[in-house]
């Protein structure tokens, strides 16, 4: 993977492993992208014309996460565990 797209994907995988404790495998990444496109993820805010913030719960783990989606590249930028659900 070369270029910005590859670096963003590598960053997202690293942050998923660090912050969520799950590897961002292709089936999970595609699931998140599909959830955004089909409206299954909960929209939180628009950060710019191409970057939006979403909330989603992985069905296989029940871990609530917040993630950043880049519309121009059609990929996940970063993610973290949604701590507001536990409050």
The Cα 53–Cα 77 span in angstroms is 10
At residue 29, the pLDDT reads: 93
pLDDT digits (tens, 9 = 90+) for 26-65: 999 999 999 999 999 999 999 999 999 999 998 888 899 9
What integer is the mean pLDDT of 11-26? 92
Q: What residues contact 16, with CB distance under 8 A and at least 6 apart?
A: 22, 23, 24, 28, 79
Terminal Cα-to-Cα distance of the chain (whole angstroms):
39
User: What region does 46 belong to: left with phi over 0, alpha with psi -120 to 50, or beta?
Assistant: beta
Mapped onto helix, strand or coil, the DSSP state of residue 23 is coil
**34 secondary structure, DSSP code:** H
**Average model confidence (pLDDT) across the chain:** 91
């Amino acid at each position: 993977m070369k270029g910005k797209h590859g670096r963003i994907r590598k960053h997202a995988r690293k942050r998923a492993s660090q912050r969520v404790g799950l590897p961002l495998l292709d089936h999970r990444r595609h699931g998140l992208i599909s959830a955004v496109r089909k409206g299954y993820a909960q929209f939180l805010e628009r950060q710019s014309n191409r970057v939006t913030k979403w909330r989603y719960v992985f069905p296989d783990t029940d871990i609530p996460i917040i993630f950043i989606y880049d519309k121009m590249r059609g990929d996940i930028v970063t993610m973290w565990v949604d701590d507001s659900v536990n409050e």
